[in-house]
């Protein structure tokens, strides 16, 4: 009997749950029989930090707890347990999660560490975070106007500004050089013309040099979209960055980013934020080449992830420093020697997955080598001659298509694409069109319905640029401010001899 009782007590002792309390006195880890259960429950609970505000940041702790085992949460901000400001308005997360805390624990820019304790039925879990942010006031520092159609109607064509920029940087350009430069520019765009590097570069410059920028505010934090000084600064920095980083090959946007490259770019971003300076973020996916301003980041040490807090282009209805859909969160999730980058777009309610992100430091002065610029023009001209195709670029119509001698079409007439001619390449960039046409046959170009400028209450200028390869040289053709009717067709003929306006 004694042997039997000893065996029973031994079994009870061996299989009873034993609680081990860590030195902090708050983390309870059940070992032995409950160890695997604890680990699995721990991994299944996610507590992420999001922020959709300017600074000081309104932090939102988003809990994913599908089994509902979390009973209570305790927040320790910088180990003092104090909450500076807790706001109301807790909401369901955009992805079915729950926002369990929303508040402002930190007001001054800097780098902070914090802990959150999750009391569960299986013990108390701990999560540790790093929060770092700069001074970035929504509406003041990210320009209170959108990169949209209204803004487009208040400024010059991108083609006009890139030529003006180039001539100020490198001297006068011939008509042929201007046409080739426009071909380089339009070749870079994926589907729409943006001034994202102008916005992000201008914003960073304004933060670093408020005395030099001196914007004209119509009302509190409301910039005048017709302010020529701001617009020129944006246009010029856009072109400076594009030609300094991408055209020169300093950043190869065709190359796939590896893990080491991603870590390197994240370090540049964190170092800049830690020093109190926002930095430009370049974002590249299959369908989008974009840039935004990073002004903060969060690290989740348990999950081994980093969230970048970035300012996207201002949308006109997003006018709150407390919550804006344009305060974006880009998450980098590390998994051993791999990483996945994701961005949940609140406005579109969809995930985006870039194949590359990179940091760009806003330079005080850009020193562009004229030799490099004119080599670019010459090399592009040589490629055009080698391809031996006529290039046509049309700006600002709702209808632009090519008709071959058999009546087949290639192009666009809102809202329809024509794809009947296989040997003509075609790209639509907003309401601008680029055709590459093989030589040897005669074609007809049809234009109709010029775009209307609502701000100026008049039709936008319609421009046509042509490049015809002639052996080792090219011939350029330019038609500016063509009258285009809503109902009548404007017709060009295209052949090896050139591009001619017929009616």
Q: Tokens standing for 155?
A: 């400024």
Residue percentage of the chain with pLDDT more than 70: 86
* pLDDT greater than 70 at residue 1: no
105-128: string of b/e by CB count within 10 Å (b at 16+)? bbeebebeebbbbbbbebbbbbbe
Residue 96 pLDDT: 61
Q: Which residue has the higher pLDDT, 426 or 247?
A: 426
What domains can you pick out in the chain, each with its CATH number?
17-131 (2.60.40), 149-360 (no CATH), 388-501 (no CATH)
pTM (predicted TM-score)? 0.83
Q: What is the rounded CA–CA span in Å between residue 5 and residue 151? A: 85
- For 314, left (φ over 0), alpha (ψ -120 to 50), or beta? beta
Rounded distance between C-alpha atoms, residue 215 and residue 229, angstroms: 8
- Cα 176 from Cα 361, distance rounded (Å): 33
- Mean pLDDT across 390-394: 96
Q: Give the integer Cα–Cα distance in Å for 405 and 448.
A: 20
pLDDT in tens, 17-35: 333 333 333 333 333 344 4
Nearest of 290, 144, 302, 122 to residue 216 by alpha carbon? 144
Angle between helices 175-188 and 158-170 (to 10 degrees): 120
DSSP percent split of the chain into helix, strand, coil, nearest 5: 25, 35, 35
pLDDT one-digit tens code per residue, 442-460: 999 999 999 877 877 778 8
3-state secondary structure of 400: strand
- 430: alpha, beta or left? (left if phi > 0; alpha if psi -120 to 50): left
Cβ pair 296, 306 in contact under 8 A:
no
Kindly report, residue by residue over 218-244, the tens digit of the pLDDT.
665 666 777 777 888 888 899 999 888
Give the per-residue pLDDT at 81.
58
Q: What is the 3-state secondary structure (H, E, C) of 301-335?
A: CCCCEEEEEEECCCCCCCCCCCCCCCEEEEEEEEE
Q: Kindly report the backbone phi and psi dihedral angles of residue 139, in degrees, each rounded to the nearest multiple of 5, phi listed first.
A: 95, -30
Q: Band the pLDDT of 89: cuts 50, 70, 90.
A: low
On whether the CB atoms of residues 126 and 21 are closer than 8 A, the answer is: no
Q: Considering only CA atoms, which of 422, 457, 442 is closest in space to residue 498?
A: 442
Average pLDDT for 468-478: 93
Which residue pairs, CB below 8 angstroms and at least 24 apart, start in 469-477? 469/384, 469/385, 469/387, 469/388, 469/389, 469/390, 469/439, 471/385, 472/385, 473/385, 474/176, 474/179, 474/180, 474/381, 474/384, 474/385, 475/176, 476/175, 476/176, 476/178, 476/179, 476/180
- Torsion, CA 177, CA 181, CA 184, CA 187, rounded to 10: -110
Does the pLDDT value for residue 135 go beyond 90? yes
The pLDDT tens digits for 178-194 are 999 999 989 887 767 77
Residue 114 sits at the vertex; the CA angle it makes with 109 and 116, to the nearest 5 degrees, is: 140
């Amino acid at each position: 009997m004694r042997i039997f009782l000893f065996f029973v007590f031994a079994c009870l002792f061996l299989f009873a749950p034993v609680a081990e309390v860590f030195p902090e006195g708050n983390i309870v880890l059940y070992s032995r029989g409950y160890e695997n259960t604890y680990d699995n429950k721990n991994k299944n609970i996610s507590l992420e930090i999001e922020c959709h505000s300017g600074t000081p940041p309104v932090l939102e702790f988003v809990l994913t707890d599908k089994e509902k085992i979390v009973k209570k949460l305790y927040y320790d901000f910088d180990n003092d347990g104090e909450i500076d400001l807790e706001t109301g308005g807790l909401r369901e997360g955009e992805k079915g999660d729950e926002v369990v805390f929303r508040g402002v624990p930190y007001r001054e820019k800097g780098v902070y560490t914090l802990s959150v304790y999750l009391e569960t039925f299986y013990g108390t879990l701990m999560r540790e975070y790093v929060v770092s942010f700069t001074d970035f006031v929504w509406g003041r520092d990210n320009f209170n106007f959108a990169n949209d159609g209204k803004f487009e109607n208040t400024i010059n064509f991108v083609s006009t500004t890139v030529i003006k920029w180039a001539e100020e940087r490198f001297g006068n350009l011939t008509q042929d050089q201007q046409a080739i430069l426009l071909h380089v520019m339009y070749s870079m765009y994926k589907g729409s013309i943006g001034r994202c590097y102008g916005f992000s570069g201008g914003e960073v410059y304004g933060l670093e040099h408020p005395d030099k920028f001196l914007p004209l505010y119509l009302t509190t934090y409301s910039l005048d979209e017709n302010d020529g000084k701001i617009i020129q600064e944006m246009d010029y920095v856009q072109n400076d960055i594009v030609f300094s980083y991408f055209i020169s090959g300093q950043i190869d946007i065709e190359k796939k980013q590896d893990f080491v490259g991603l870590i390197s770019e994240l370090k540049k971003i964190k170092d800049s934020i830690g020093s109190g300076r926002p930095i430009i973020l370049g974002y590249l996916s299959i369908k989008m080449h974009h840039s935004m301003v990073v002004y903060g980041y969060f690290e989740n040490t348990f999950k081994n992830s980093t969230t970048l807090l970035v300012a996207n282009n201002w949308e006109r209805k997003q006018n709150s420093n407390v919550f804006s859909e344009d305060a974006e969160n880009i998450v980098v999730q590390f998994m051993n020697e791999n990483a996945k980058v994701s961005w949940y777009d609140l406005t579109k309610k969809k995930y985006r997955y870039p194949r590359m992100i990179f940091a760009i430091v806003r330079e005080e002065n850009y020193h562009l080598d004229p030799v490099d610029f004119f080599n670019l023009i010459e090399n592009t001209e040589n490629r055009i001659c080698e391809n031996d195709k006529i290039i046509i670029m049309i700006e600002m119509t709702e209808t632009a298509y090519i008709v071959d001698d058999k009546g087949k079409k290639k192009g666009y007439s809102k809202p329809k694409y024509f794809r009947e001619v296989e040997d003509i390449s075609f790209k639509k960039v907003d309401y601008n069109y680029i055709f590459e046409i093989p030589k040897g046959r005669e074609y007809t170009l049809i234009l109709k319905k010029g775009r209307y400028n609502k701000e100026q209450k008049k039709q936008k200028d319609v421009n046509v640029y042509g490049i015809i390869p002639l052996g080792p040289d090219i011939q350029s053709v330019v038609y500016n401010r063509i009258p285009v009717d809503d109902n009548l067709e404007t017709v060009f003929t295209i052949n090896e001899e050139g591009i001619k306006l017929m009616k």
